[in-house]
A and B are shown apart, each in its own frame.
Chain A
Amino acid sequence: MNYKLVSTRDYIGKVLIEMQKKHKNLVVIDSDLASSVKSNEFAEVYPNNFFEMGIAEQSSMSSVCGFAMEGFIPIYVNFSIFVTGTVWTQLRQACYSNFNFKIIGSHPGMDNGPDGATHHALEDIALSRVIPNMTVFTPSDMNELKACVEEALKINGPVYIRTPRDTVPILHDENCSFHTGKAEILEDDGNDIAIIFEGSSSKEAYEGFLSLKELGYKNKLINIRSIKPIDSELINKLSSRVKGIVTVENHNVSGGLNGVISEEIVKSKNNIIVKCVGVNNTFTESGKTSDVKKKYGLSSEKVVEKALEIIKGL
């Protein structure tokens, strides 16, 4: 297979700079990780609109309410685990206020392999999507990130944007579009299996799709993009077309992508089978990111295995 791999994280600063040119009233909040999440690039160009709050994530999260109250659009950029888990009640109260703010989580799932279990955000989709007023996006590559942040800035309310740190394939061109509540069908060979992934597991999902293609199966490859609101219309359509669904996520399989797709399938016309690829109710460990992902259940081989289980009626 031939595609370029990039870390979407490396483009966060550049995207924020571009957005500031259009919106003027953005402020970026940091908790001493600007160089790791690349918001330092924004700080260099727009120092007045960049606020260092120290390693005080809870206070950082609540401070966005004050900026939003005064008419700014605050964007709090930090590791996924901190920006959802560490600050959950602060985030919940900010969402209850329904202030117009955005949070960007830069190290989702096992993307920060060597740091180990403490830093692996395997619950952030679950923690964010369960909060009322919240919108949750999972862009994959840097072009999709740009379109996603543009879309998020059209929403007058809280949005969580989950951004890959590990390298992922560039699946979109510079002019790609992004729409709230709309998934993207990347490949459509036929109606065997629908492989649905969130942005930070695009590589495993895509490679799994291609392996199955070589085996002669005609599948669909779907980039969910908008976890909340979810594309109910598409999921409902799929339920009467494909044999089954395989969800692929860099997240615990409970409460995340598999959770949301399963919730939709239960409501849809046909209760087709949904199998999951992801981390299954366990803490992980340190290791090279690719090794950790493989050991804890996120791999293209697992995608193939789960798809074949459905096809063979297992």
Chain B
Amino acid sequence: MKSNTINIEELKNKSKLYRKTIIEMIYKAKVGHPGGSLSCIDILNVLYNTRIDRSEENKDRLILSKGHVTPALFSVFMDLGYIEKSEINTFRQINSRLQGHPDRNKIKEIDANTGLLGQGLSIGVGAALAKKLKNDNDHNVYVIIGDGEMHEGQIWEALMEGAHYKLNNLIVFLDYNKLSSKGNCNEVMNLEPIHDRIKSFNWHIEEINGNDIEEILQVLEKIDSITDKPKFIIANTIKGKGVSFMENNPKWHSGGLNDEQYKKAIEELN
């Protein structure tokens, strides 16, 4: 865990900055996934700025299982200096490090390649077991999954395994924005009652507003004391959060912005 301190106002300002970077990156590429990037950015912000310690050989890990939201990840990486700000123009372009989905061989701070949905939580189970085996008790494995992604059967395999091995160092954030590619995620395939389902798998479960910095901070602090179970946080979020015309609109699951939309989005985020 990170030892530096950062106050809530600073974190809120970072979320604003990251949202603008996401919009700029997708505007320049003319393609990307703005809706899901904007819904999960507050979680990534808090994790990378208050929790994830990359300074030593043993590290906190973050598996971005919903790999299509690279604009969110890269906006944080630019702020942390893992990638150059100038690379913003290269997202999804040929010869770029900034791939459509995460590539650890291009950017070393990426822990695992993801993009084929449903696999990240299993990767997290492996990493959490490995940390136990080598007695690395000071670092956690964080996995960000999407709600549409939970339709994948492999997620439920990993949920079984995480509980079976009581992996208290495995922390899942479900970016529950309720919208997948086609529209209402639960109309596509119902996940509810999600809270009861996850609980019945014997995970510790919490539910928060995943776009509220303070709630994210509080829940992380709260679950630190849970030692006998893996932890699952239902983060209720808004797809497209922060840009009025994108919010709760499945059209913005993927796509580019025209000049007018870009201008309006940035104005709102300022």
Residues of A that sit less than 8 Å from B by CB = 27, 48-49, 51, 53-54, 56, 58-72, 74, 89-90, 92-93, 96-98
Contact = CB atoms under 8 A, between A and B. Distances in A.
Given A65-B126, A66-B122, A67-B130, 10 more contacts: A27-B133, A54-B160, A59-B125, A59-B157, A62-B122, A64-B126, A67-B129, A69-B111, A70-B127, A93-B114
B154 A69 contact: no
Contacts of A92: 116
A54 B162 CA distance: 12
Contact of B161 (A56, A67, A72, A97): A56
Contacts of B92: none
A164 to B, nearest CB: 29
Interface of B: 61, 103-105, 111-116, 118-120, 122-131, 133-134, 136, 141, 153-154, 157-158, 160-161, 164
Contacts of B113: 93, 96-97
9 contacts: A49-B133, A56-B160, A62-B120, A63-B125, A63-B126, A65-B126, A66-B130, A71-B134, A97-B105
Identify which of A58, A62, A64 gathers the most chain B CB atoms within 10 Å of its CB: A62
A70 B130 contact: yes
Contacts, number: 103
A54 B125 CA distance: 13
Given A59-B161, A65-B112, A72 B133 contact: yes
A54 B157 contact: yes
Contact of B119 (A51, A62, A67, A68): A62
A96 B131 CA distance: 23
A280 B106 CA distance: 41
Given A69-B112, A72-B133, A63 B122 contact: yes
Pairs A-B, 9 closest by C-beta atoms: A66-B126, A66-B127, A63-B126, A62-B122, A70-B130, A59-B157, A56-B157, A59-B122, A97-B113
A48 B129 CA distance: 11
Question: Which secondary structure dominates chain B's binding surface?
Answer: helix
B161 A27 contact: no
A66 B125 contact: yes
Nearest to B165: A51
Contact of A66 (B141, B154, B160): B141
Contacts of A63: 122-123, 125-126, 129, 158, 161
Identify which of A66, A70, A89 gathers the most chain B CB atoms within 10 Å of its CB: A66
Given A66-B123, A72-B133, A93-B113, A98 B161 contact: no
A87 to B, nearest CB: 10
Nearest to A52: B164
A25 to B, nearest CB: 9
A23 to B, nearest CB: 14
A35 B116 CA distance: 32
A92 B101 CA distance: 14
Contacts of B105: 97-98
Contacts of A97: 104-105, 112-113
B133 A69 contact: no
Nearest to B120: A62
B157 to A, nearest CB: 4
Contacts of B133: 27, 48-49, 72
Nearest to A29: B126
A142 to B, nearest CB: 28
Given A58-B154, A63-B161, A93 B122 contact: no
A56 B153 CA distance: 10
A69 B115 contact: no
Nearest to B162: A59
A90 B152 CA distance: 13
Contacts of A71: 130, 134
A63 B134 CA distance: 16
B129 A62 contact: no
A170 to B, nearest CB: 36
